[in-house]
Chain A
Amino acid sequence: MIVFSLKDKNLSQHIIHDLKKKQRNYQFMHVCGTHQDTLMKHGLDTLLKEVGINILQGPGCPVCVTTPKEIEEMIVLARSGLIIATYGDMIQVPGINASLKDMQTEGYSILTVYSIEDAVSFAQKNPKRTVVFMAVGFETTAPSTALTLLNRPVKNFHILCCHRTIPPALRLLLEMGESNIDGLIDPGHVSTIIGMKPYEHLTEQYGIPQVIAGFEPIDILMAVWMLIRQIESNDIKVENEYARAVDPKGNQYAQQVIQDIFNKKDVAWRGFPLIKGSGLEIKEEFEHYDARKTFEDILEPLAEKEFKEPDGCRCGEVLRGLIQPENCPLFEKTCTPDHPIGPCMVSVEGSCHISYKYSKRR
């Protein structure tokens, strides 16, 4: 069986031909590792650069934007003997002295899971152990965390909530204005949940063109073409290129469960100052599951501590779209996927990792 995908060679050629007719000078930003992968894998980044269109990856990698403090919280909890469960990439992110993976080698209980349900079922099968699931991710993973809590799982299961939401980060980027963005390619998967509305006030306030895009090469080409068309016909709005998966209203049930379980809070992102309302915090009603409440005493020593980026790592600037991975002096030298210095090299969605992967192919 072939799972359908969006392909039309003639159409792609037509768009490319159209773009090549004129030299331009635009800079667009997307916030999704999968967009970056499509861009690099198919050489679209180079092709677009040739016609004067530069595309940056912003803070669109949940593992990358997790702060050094959050990594340390996991490490401290693991050291205290709790079982830490999280998604694969997360365990390799270097902390101050070690990563969760190093701790696994030392014999601490670190569990890599594919889904939050795996972590819950592990807790069910091991009622005498305490499991803490590190919940990372944007609006795409937040509903699965929310749904799990709504079903009130076993009491030896807890969550260290590190969920973040995209629109407040886009707002801050536009407000800071340091990366000169002429248009946004909005993340398709996040948009399947949130729909189109959360982007609209950004366009109203900052006059920024936006297109929600899918993940095939043709989706990216279309999104770029649509952004240019908006700019050049002076008809600035939010458009939805990914209509096959994005309902303009989003997934309303998923939005509802997020609201039922979480309150918004101000959180820091790696490379960014505190971003207003960009974090999700478990509501009081479910606070037993909140690892930050239940294990407050274990985490307390971290409260006053200052955290900094790994020495020489420029992930912060990469995430703000100020530099490309190649501009980091450590890129490909001391920092590689086998020996990552920062999270942008760890995660398969990180700019540095993706650049490394495809630079080898060129």
Chain B
Amino acid sequence: MCLAVPGKIISIDKENNQATIDYGNKTIRKANISLVTVSVGDYVLVHAGFAIQKVDPKEAEETLALFREILSNEEV
């Protein structure tokens, strides 16, 4: 229930604040997007039928890059 899943927005129905979201593995579902500001192509976390936040793939890559750097410089 608290399980949020990331998916990619493939279309938006502005009037009803609904988006069609592709979760991969051929799973496509609608979600309410009233809580977020998004466009087609964005990744979102969806929880109980509502998109709760955008997910940024660039940021994910940056986190990894940052970590590679920290790890190569220091050890715990």
Contacts and interface: CB of A to CB of B under 8 A. Distances in A.
A11 B48 contact: no
B2 A3 contact: no
Nearest to A37: B3
18 contacts: A1-B8, A1-B22, A6-B60, A18-B75, A22-B76, A90-B1, A114-B48, A117-B49, A137-B2, A144-B50, A189-B4, A189-B45, A228-B76, A232-B76, A244-B55, A244-B60, A245-B53, A254-B52
Do most interface residues of chain B lie in helix, strand or loop, or is the interface mixed? mixed
A245 B1 contact: no
B3 A33 contact: yes
A97 to B, nearest CB: 24
B1 A347 contact: yes
Nearest to A60: B2
A169 to B, nearest CB: 14
B50 A115 contact: yes
A4 B67 contact: no
A270 to B, nearest CB: 15
Nearest to B75: A18
Interface string B44-71: 0101111011111101101110011001
B48 A8 contact: no
A32 B2 contact: yes
A144 B35 contact: yes
A128 B11 CA distance: 35
A241 B52 contact: no
B40 to A, nearest CB: 13
Given A144-B48, A244-B60, 18 more contacts: A3-B22, A3-B24, A4-B60, A8-B68, A11-B67, A33-B3, A34-B4, A60-B2, A62-B1, A63-B1, A89-B1, A90-B1, A140-B52, A147-B34, A244-B55, A244-B57, A254-B52, A349-B1
